[in-house]
């Protein structure tokens, strides 16, 4: 699988199986333009939708350990959004690199364990959001009434004049 969004990298990672199990190399620092400085683990129950979030400066690298997620990406760096929606499954050995300016979210179709790395430590000033059901983005989520955090429930509709510049 590939992405048409500039800077988004979907990588099928190599797995080395043997009689003991598997070994998977998730990333190499020379493959990405910025170094990762923080690693996180997120668990989401089925029907939880996280997002849409975006950052001015931070990039993310996602890996699903277990479960199935419907992923939505929306490039906000131009004058209109380019949206991509795809599934990401645990055990697929696939990572997704998401650069600054690309809104991202996922629906846990099943319970999801996600590991993700970020290129900056948590900075509330670099945390932005767009409504998960924004009509301009038109994302066809697989549920109509997802479980949302308060933040995600109150994310604003997309307003191009309000978007920051991205680096």
* Spans of all domains in the chain: 9-156
> What phi, psi does 29 have (nearest 5°)?
-60, -30
Instruction: Specify whether the CB–CB gap between 108 and 47 falls below 8 A.
Output: yes
Question: Which residue ranges in the chain fall short of pLDDT 70?
Answer: 167
Q: Which strand (E) or helix (H) includes residue 41?
A: strand 38-44
pLDDT, one tens digit per residue, over 11-22 is 999 888 899 998
Q: Does domain 9-156 have CATH number 2.60.120.10?
A: yes
The answer to whether 140 touches 97, Cβ cutoff 8 Å, is no
Answer whether 0.85 is exceeded by the pTM. yes
Residues 76-96: tens digit of each pLDDT:
998 888 999 999 999 899 999
> Which residues are annotated as catalytic?
53, 116
User: Which tokens belong to 157?
Assistant: 């509709």
Q: How far apart are CA 92 and CA 105, in angstroms?
A: 19
CB 55 within 8 A of CB 100: yes
Cα separation, 38 vs 120, whole angstroms = 7
- Three-class secondary structure assignment of 107-143: EECCCEEEEEEECCCCCHHHCEECCCCCCCCCCCCCC
Predicted local confidence at residue 167, as pLDDT: 60
């Amino acid at each position: 699988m590939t992405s048409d969004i500039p800077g988004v990298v979907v990588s099928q990672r190599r797995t080395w199986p043997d009689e003991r199990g598997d070994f998977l190399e998730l990333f190499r620092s020379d493959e990405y333009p910025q170094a990762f400085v923080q690693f996180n683990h997120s668990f989401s129950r089925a029907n939880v939708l996280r997002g849409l979030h975006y950052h001015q400066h931070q990039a993310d690298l996602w890996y699903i350990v277990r479960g199935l997620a419907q992923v939505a990406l929306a490039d906000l760096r131009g004058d209109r959004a380019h949206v991509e929606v795809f599934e990401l499954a645990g055990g697929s050995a696939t990572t997704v690199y998401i650069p600054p300016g690309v809104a991202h979210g996922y629906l846990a179709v099943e319970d999801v364990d996600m590991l993700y790395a970020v290129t900056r430590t948590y900075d509330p000033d670099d945390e932005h959001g767009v409504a998960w059901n924004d009509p301009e983005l038109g994302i066809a989520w697989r549920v109509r009434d997802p479980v949302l955090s308060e933040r995600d429930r109150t994310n604003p509709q997309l307003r191009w004049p309000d978007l920051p510049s991205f680096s």
